[in-house]
Amino acid sequence: MQLIQAKDYDDMSRKAANIISAQVIMKPNCVLGLATGSTPLGTYSNLINWYKKGDLDFSQVSSVNLDEYRGLPADNDQSYRYFMKTNLFDQVNIDQSRTYVPNGMEPDSDKACRDHDNIINELGGIDLQLLGLGLNGHIGFNEPADEFPKGTHCVDLTQSTIEANSRFFASIDEVPTQAYTMGIQSIMLAKKILIIASGANKAEIIAKAFLGPVTPEVPASILQMHPDVTLVADEAALSAYLKQKSEMEAN
Ligand code: F6R
């Protein structure tokens, strides 16, 4: 794992956006794996600014999103399709017919998941997958479990994830309880992985994920096995990781 230390959220966002923009410049028709949540907002806003300045061109890029709530239509302002349109797609020159988010309105969950996996395969796989990190170690919506799920699947969200996401909804009762998410295998097959984290509330889980045992109880810990992972995180998020690492090295 390559670690890039950032000062704060803005610095993390700039550094992460630089890595994504390098990918787009080096391979204009690349496949980007994208994430939602609060962490990537600053990254996306840098990409939008650089596109507006003429430094970036998304016209040949395809994108695949990690996940979508089951049962939310694309025009619901809490759906991940809506999030991506508002926070990135509508503000750059990406061809939206080549942006793929799992179809939350597909009632047949097997079909929704198969369709998403087929799209990833037909695109030839993901060149760069951007990930955020859940407080319980989830990546996408791969929650702590007894085994690592493989392809795209339907998940029951854990109480901790429902509570964390309730800040975006009028009340906790409105948070969907299920989601379609890319599986661990689909994520691990990405050629490069960029994981971003900011803030003290992520400190404990970063240490666990990157220094603890590889276990489906901490889904992000599998990233220790990926050959090309970059973690961009700020000082607050790295505090426990750096402390534990120096203790391990001293022993
Ligand atoms: C979002 C996703 C989630 C988030 C994670 C962190 O598409 O897949 O795994 O990345 O919940 O969320 P934030 O960034 O809001 O802390």
**Residues known to be catalytic:** 67, 136, 138, 143
| CATH code of the region 2-250 | 3.40.50.1360
Cβ(63) to ligand 1 under 6 A? no
Q: What is the pLDDT along the chain (251 residues), one digit of tens a residue?
A: 999 999 999 999 999 999 999 999 999 999 999 999 999 999 999 999 999 999 999 999 999 999 999 999 999 999 999 999 999 999 999 999 999 999 999 999 999 999 999 999 999 999 999 999 999 999 999 999 999 989 999 999 889 889 988 888 899 999 999 999 999 999 999 999 999 999 999 999 999 999 999 999 999 999 999 999 999 999 999 999 999 999 999 98
Q: Which atom of ligand 1 is nearest to the CA of 37?
A: 15
d(C-alpha 21, C-alpha 95), whole Å: 17
How many angstroms separate the alpha carbon of residue 203 from the centre of ligand 1? 15
Return the bridge partners of 64, or none: 33, 100
How many angstroms separate the alpha carbon of residue 249 from the centre of ligand 1? 31
Specify the pLDDT at position 164.
Answer: 84
Q: Which atom of ligand 1 is nearest to the CA of 65?
A: 7
Kind plus residue range of the DSSP H or E element containing 209:
helix 203-211
Specify the pLDDT at position 158.
Answer: 84
Cβ(130) to ligand 1 under 6 A? no
Any idea what DSSP says for residue 62? E
Where do we find the tokens 């809490």? Answer: 78
Cβ(183) to ligand 1 under 6 A? no
Specify the pLDDT at position 157.
Answer: 87
Buried b (16+ CB within 10 A) or exposed e, 170-209: eeeeebbeebbbbbbebbbbbbbbbbbbbbeebbebbbbb
pTM value? Answer: 0.96
How many angstroms separate the alpha carbon of residue 206 from the centre of ligand 1? 14
Would you state the torsion angle of the CA atoms of residues 12, 16, 22, 23, taken in this order, to the nearest 10 degrees? Answer: 170
Q: Closest residue (by CA) to atom 10 of ligand 1?
A: 132
Task: Check if the beta carbon of residue 92 is closer than 8 Å to that of residue 206.
Answer: no
Q: Which of 39, 79, 165 is the best mutation target for the ligand 1 pocket, counting ligand atoms within 8 Å of the beta carbon and taking the most? A: 39
In the chain, where the domains are located: 2-250
Specify the pLDDT at position 120.
Answer: 97
How many angstroms separate the alpha carbon of residue 248 from the centre of ligand 1? 29
Specify the pLDDT at position 230.
Answer: 98
Specify the pLDDT at position 251.
Answer: 84
